[in-house]
Amino acid sequence: MTMPPGPGPILNLLQAFQSSAIVNSAIELGAFAALENGLKSAAQVGKAVGAPERSTAILLDAVTALGLLQKEGRKYRLSPLADAHLVPGRGGYIGDAARIVCDPVIWDAMGRFTQAVRHGGTVLHNHAESAGQKFWDCFAQHSSALAAPSAEYVAALLGRFMEERPHSRILDLACGSGLYGLTLARRFHHARVTLLDRANVLSPARRRTKETAVHERIEVLAADMFDADLGGPYDIVVASHVFHHFNARTCEQLLRRLGKVTSPGGRLIVHDYVPDETRTANAPAALFAALMLAWTREGNTYTYSEYTKLFAKGGFLAPVMHAPPHLTTQFLVGERKPRRSRLE
Q: How many CB atoms are closer than 10 A to CB 137?
A: 16
pTM value is 0.92
Looking at the DSSP assignment, which residues form a beta bridge with residue 77? Answer: 70
**Residues 264-280: pLDDT tens digits?**
999 999 999 999 999 99
| Residue 137 to residue 176: CA distance in whole angstroms | 8
**Confidence band for 344, pLDDT divided at 50, 70 and 90:** very low
| Residue 67 to residue 78: CA distance in whole angstroms | 9
Contact 323, 146 (CB under 8 A): no
Greater pLDDT, 294 or 130: 294
**Residues 62-97: pLDDT tens digits?**
999 999 999 999 999 999 999 999 999 988 999 999
Average pLDDT over residues 136-149: 90
Confidence check: pLDDT of 342 > 60: no
Strands of the sheet containing 75-78, edge to edge, are 40-41, 75-78, 69-72
**Residues 169-223: pLDDT tens digits?**
999 999 999 999 999 999 999 999 999 999 989 998 999 999 888 999 999 999 9
Confidence check: pLDDT of 98 > 90: yes
pLDDT of 340 reads: 64
Confidence check: pLDDT of 130 > 50: yes
How confident is the prediction for the chain on average, in pLDDT? 95
Q: Three-state DSSP class for 332?
A: strand
Average pLDDT over residues 309-313: 97
pLDDT of 3 reads: 86
| Sign (positive or negative) of CA dihedral 279, 100, 112, 62 | positive
**CA dist list (Å): 30 to 48, 141, 256, 258, 277:** 8, 19, 46, 43, 42
**Confidence band for 36, pLDDT divided at 50, 70 and 90:** very high
Contact 200, 227 (CB under 8 A): no
Confidence check: pLDDT of 341 > 70: no
Contact 141, 207 (CB under 8 A): no
The proportion of the chain whose per-residue pLDDT surpasses 70, expressed as a percent, equals 99
Pairing status of strand 234-240 against strand 169-173:
parallel
Helix-helix angle 283-295:104-111, to 10 degrees: 90
**Residues 217-268: pLDDT tens digits?**
999 999 999 999 999 999 999 999 999 999 999 999 999 999 999 999 999 9
Long-range contacts formed by 328-331: CB under 8 A, 24+ apart = 328/273, 328/284, 329/150, 329/271, 329/272, 329/273, 329/274, 329/284, 330/271, 330/272, 330/273, 330/274, 331/150, 331/153, 331/154, 331/157, 331/269, 331/270, 331/271
Pairing status of strand 75-78 against strand 69-72:
antiparallel
Comparing 5-9, 71-75, 133-137, the range with the smallest average pLDDT is 133-137
Q: Three-state DSSP class for 23?
A: helix
Confidence check: pLDDT of 300 > 80: yes
